[in-house]
Structure 1
Amino acid sequence: MAIIGIDLGTTNSLAAVWRNGKSELIPNAAGDVLTPSVVSVDEDGGVLVGRAARDRLISHPERTAARFKRFMGTSKTYTLGSRTFTPEDLSSLVLRALRQDAEACLGEPIEEAVVSVPAYFTEAQRAATKRAAALAGLKVERLVNEPSAAAVAGHIGREEEDKVCLVFDLGGGTLDVSLVERFSSVVSVTAVSGDNRLGGADFDLAVARGFCEDCGLDFGGLTPRQRELLVRQAEACKMALTSQEMVLMSVDDGTVSATLPLSNEWMIRKCGPLFRRMTAPIQRVFLDSGISFQDLDDLVLVGGSSHMPAVRRYIARFLHKDPARNSRPDTAVALGAGICAGMKARAGDLKELVLTDVCPFTLGVSRYNESEPERDLMSPIIERNSVLPSSKMGIYYTIRDGQDKVDVQVYQGEHRYCADNTLLGRLLVPVPPAPRGRQSIRIRFTYDINGLLEVEVVNEAGHAERLVLQNKDMSAEEAERRLKELSRLKLHPRDQEEYRAMVARGERLYAVTVGSLREQVGTLLDWYQKVLSSQEALKIAKATKRLDRFFDQAEAYLGDAALPPPEPSGDEEEEL
């Protein structure tokens, strides 16, 4: 049974499938690959999704909803006619339409999907996305970050091995920025940042407001229908400016009439604050990764809003780098999600491909603040941009004489004070009473690529408590299965067969060499063990290739002396 990849977008959504050795976009019932992420309820109570719904944004704005992805994971509701929907409900209707189109195209039932989400989506937003998929009849174990999907799409079919790419993903409602390293069959996300409230919809609104400002109109005083008409006209002009130097924006609905020539320069002036907001996430990923602007090999622009010449010029000028010409802004994320679906289905032609991702937010626990006891401090355990899956530990001590329990509070966020971050969960752990600072607990966080966090707390007596923080739609059986997978993270990479073989090869070379060559082999083995300790696939892949090349040269130099001793034959064993 096929697994499909889905790009659930703010403006448009797409689906793709891995078959015949490539990721293929799936057309909808109208023959298009883009399905507008719009839902409308008609007068008879019927639900419309896609293009038909989008056409009703102007004629029936009170019965139509768009751009609801921005409010995933919140309590916002939409009243369309006599019915009320949550953002998850509306997203599920779009996902259901994509599933039905995929079933019609592929001729088989679709029960599972890999869905892309903005890299900077919080755990609440990711959980909401999974709930929406479940409502659409889709099992979703894997969410893939949109820039990661775009990076994978760019990797397939390319010969270059070692490259650093910045993926700038400006969609209809969100901005994601990721630094990605490609090496051999490993695509590794090094750092992510973004803005969940910045996208093409904000530019549409800014253009509409700028138009009203220059034409002497009060945007806030217009009716909902007039505002929607103006925003749709602004969107059309914005899109026209991708291929024209000047466009004429004109609105006339009988009560409001105005005309104004627009240019990209005019748009940069009116949208100045939005452009400036784009640079902060870019600076953050370079700072977090330790990579400089000069090390950047490729600038990949993704998302429909990156078509805007003003955006392309602004980012190119800021980075002193021209965008890659072969990027596919509208379809790259969907194609990458299709590749990830193929990986999930264990397609034979994708077995060698490895995709690593990072944790977008810091995860930690509360720590006593001696200077301000009423304001606990955040103590990070897994910091943002740590490679996933990740398993890390911190040691903490009692703060009061005779303390017999510790309240472990788990938080997500970047702020210094816990109150400014998001509380994910808590558990009480007993400790033997003792003077302050004499008893300790070890807190281990184990976090997987699908958003499952295991918190394990062990006191000095060996008593352990465990808290599993999971997406709300995950069954107990599914959580237990994933926990078994997580337990393997605690096995060191050096225990894996490939790496054991590389270490054994080095130890054999060390045994048959002397002098400076033996010293070199020993130094490289020590270095390799440290790289294995990082548990980062990209670093390990690079180190393994470097070590393999050195061992090849050493063995060629040593000739027959480097060969392993022959295996004893059966006769020899019998004689022994």
Structure 2
Amino acid sequence: MAVYGIDLGTTFCSVAYVERGQPRLVTLEGGGPTLASLVLLTSRGGPRAVVGSRAPSAYRELVGEAERAPGDVVLVRGSKNHMGVGSSVYAGPPWRLGERELYSTDIAAVILRTLAEMVRARPALPPLDGVVVSHPQRFRNREKLATGQAAKMAGLPLWGMITEPDAAGWAYGLHARAVGAQGTSQTFMVFDFGGGTLDVTLLRREGGPGVAQLHAIDSYGVQLGGLAIDQRIRDALVTQYAERASDHAFSLAAVNESTRERLLELAEWFKISLNTDAGTDPSPLSRSRRRKFTPVFDQDTEGEEVTLELSLAELSRSIGGELDRAMACAEEALRRASLDWSSLDEVLLTGGSSLLWPLQQRMRERCPRVRIHDDPGHPLNPLTIVASGAAIHGAALAEGGARVGVALSGVVPDTFSVRAWEPSPESPGGRRAVLIPLVPAGTATPFVGRRTFSVRGGSSVLPVEVFEGRSEREATRVGEYRMTFPQPMPDGARAEVRLDVRSNGVLVLSVVDAATGTIQEARLDDAPGLYSDEVLAARASWLQSLRVDWNG
């Protein structure tokens, strides 16, 4: 039985499975181990999606010289940044395909379906019996549930989900055991810098001759990644063109849609070209790259052809703000764990954006023991380590929970609280709403948080509102759950509220009537922005009929 691990990334995806105890990567686009998380949607010739690196070129062909993208063509980038959002977002969802409005859950389902088709198109691979899908550590309950809905829409047998840093921890722990790093206790940081999210997780590894034990200490994340960096580099290229062409009115708004897309691709090319193998260059900051560029303004007007040139030093300066934010995220994770850089035995860099040489240099200034495996075939390669770890977790699930050489306990990134009422100091006799934490941020999982409250009597229905967030200001509502008891609870009755955070990420809320011992439970598997069962089934049926192109 094969349970595949899927890294559903913001900019790239990868897939792995376990064979003879070791993760194996699935070949995807162009003979490599990744698939670009790009989706072209068009209704020309019938509803159709093009998935992967072909999507931008197909988009430019359909858009032609139009100043703005026509209504029947849309290129979706970074949809994962809006997972679980069911309302309109500027430059985001909904994306239209014919008469249908699509959200990030739908786009994720299209990508997951494509990945499954790629696996099934290779007869030499084991049958796809199940999947474990990864998600960012910073995803809240709604976003995790939406990811699960996407897997169901794609027709995938979902065995579980895992955070991206935890998946990297699984792969790291198994590799460390395989190379004989046993008998020591180590504290290390997983710095997972991907296309749209940055997650920093601190873990402690306990060595030994048996199973490697990994314990998450704390975690912190922000929305920041390769997409933001590409946009910053694109802005620098726009400024340079304006200077070299002496066209100070030149801007993104002045050019047509195809040119805007080419500028973003050009920014990505400069980023990859300048940073690839920069560590082997004796003078990396002085290395530079050049590309000719001619903008198109409309059907009748082209701009002057200019050679754009960018050095690694200039690129580093242009993305300095993003790198500052990335390092601040790491500092905050250490602060929350009451650690400092000297506490770390190692920093493991994962995610495509960790391949940025300026970032690696900043990290080495703080911790000399920085590990990054940029060999594409290495099990800890930044682009594929998450899929490898998810596959290892899947193999453990397939073996009935058996430990595949490593066991990992996760951590809750955000506080879970319930709303309660207390006397108001500003209004004598009045009451005010407060959030009472049940599960503090940084708590190791599995964990059951509990608090006892006095209830206002007269009803057999006790509503419980659950919130997620480290502070009251940033907390979001998970949902309201109405617990129905056989008899009304008298005024002043004591009730214990419990929140069970399980190791697989499932949340179970329960309320215990202290007088009778009666327990009412609810799984927190509903939230605003999710599809109802009926809508989910209808969208899954539509998705199966959608034409999806990924292999030309």
Q: Shorter-chain TM-score: what band?
A: 0.7 to 0.9
Query: Match of 1:241, as an amino acid?
Result: L
The equivalent of 1:293 in structure 2 is: 341
Q: Indicate yes or no: 2:229 matched with 1:186.
A: no
Partner of 1:421: 476
**TM-score with structure 1 setting the length:** 0.75
> Unaligned 5+ residue runs, structure 2?
64-72, 87-92, 243-247, 279-286, 297-301, 374-379, 534-552
Which of 83, 107, 111 is 1:72 aligned to?
Answer: 83
The match for 1:230 is 263
Match of 1:366 among 407, 410, 419: 419
Counterpart mapping for 1:124-143 below 5 A: 124-143=142-161
Matching residue within 117, 123, 130 for 2:135:
117
2:234 aligned residue? 208
Q: Secondary structure at the match of 1:142?
A: strand
Tell me the amino acid that sits aligned with residue 16 of structure 1: A
User: Aligned-pair distance for 1:446?
Assistant: 0.8
Query: Residue 182 of structure 1 aligns to which amino acid in structure 2?
Result: R
Task: Count residues with an aligned counterpart.
Answer: 468
Q: 1:263: how far off?
A: 2.3
Cα distance change on mapping 1:439 and 1:339 into 2, 3 Å:
same
Paired residues of 2:451 and 2:497 also in contact (CA < 8 A): yes
Verify: 1:396 aligned to 2:450, yes or no: no
Q: Check 1:81–1:222 CA distance in 2 against 1; reply closer, same or farther (3 A cut).
A: farther
Structure 2 counterparts to residues 366-515 of structure 1, below 5 A? 366-369=419-422, 370-371=424-425, 376-398=433-455, 407-416=463-472, 420-427=475-482, 432-434=489-491, 439-462=493-516, 463-470=518-525
Deviations 1:516-538 (A, max 9, x none): xxxxxxxxxxxxxxxxxxxxxxx
Which residue in 2 is equivalent to 1:275?
Answer: 323
The 1:371/1:212 distance shift into structure 2, 3 A limit, reads farther
Task: Show the counterpart of 1:44.
Answer: 45
1:351 to 1:299, Cα distance in 2 relative to 1, 3 A = closer
Q: CA deviation at 1:226?
A: 1.9
Cα distance, 1:270–1:466 mapped onto 2, change above 3 Å: same
Tell me if the contact between 1:362 and 1:384 (Cα under 8 Å) persists in the aligned partners: yes
TM superposition shift of 1:407: 4.1
Provide the C-alpha distance between the structure 2 equivalents of 1:315 and 1:29, rounded to a whole number of angstroms.
Answer: 31
Q: CA RMSD in A?
A: 2.8
Q: Displacement, 1:432?
A: 4.8
**1:332–1:405 CA distance, 2 compared to 1 (3 A):** closer
Q: Which has more strand, going by share of residues?
A: 2
Alignment check: 8 A CA contact 1:72 1:128 kept: yes
1:557 corresponds in structure 2 to none
- Long gaps (5+) in structure 1: 476-576
Alpha-carbon distance, 1:330 to partner: 1.3
Computing the radius of gyration from Cα coordinates, the structure with the larger value is: 1
The offset of 1:130, in angstroms, is 0.8
Work out the CA distance in 2 between the residues paired with 1:124 and 1:204: 28
- Partner residue, 2:381: 328
Deviation at 1:395, TM superposition (A): 1.8
Determine which structure has the larger helix proportion and give its number.
1
**Contact map agreement 1:366 1:409 (CA 8 A) in 2:** yes
> Taking every aligned residue pair, what percent have the same amino acid on both sides?
25
Question: How far apart are the structure 2 equivalents of 1:108 and 1:159?
Answer: 29
* 1:24 CA displacement: 0.1
Contact 1:25 1:335 (8 Å CA) reproduced:
yes
Matches within 5 A, 1:540-555: none
On the 8 A contact 1:111/1:137 being kept in 2, the answer is: no
Query: Please, which of 217, 235, 240 is the counterpart of residue 273 of structure 2?
Result: 240
After TM superposition, give the deviation of residue 8 of structure 1 in Å.
0.8
Deviation at 1:350, TM superposition (A): 4.2
Q: Does structure 2 retain, via aligned residues, the 8 Å contact 1:63–1:81? A: no
Contact 2:141 2:478 in 1 (8 A): no
Aligned to 2:314: 266
Equivalent position SS for 2:159? coil
8 Å contact kept, 1:191–1:285:
yes
* Conserved 8 A contact 1:17-1:23: yes
Higher normalized contact order (CA 8 Å, seq sep 6+, divided by chain length): 2
Q: In structure 1, how many angstroms separate the alpha carbons of the residues matched to 2:237 and 2:220?
A: 31
Distance 1:41 1:388, change over 3 A: same
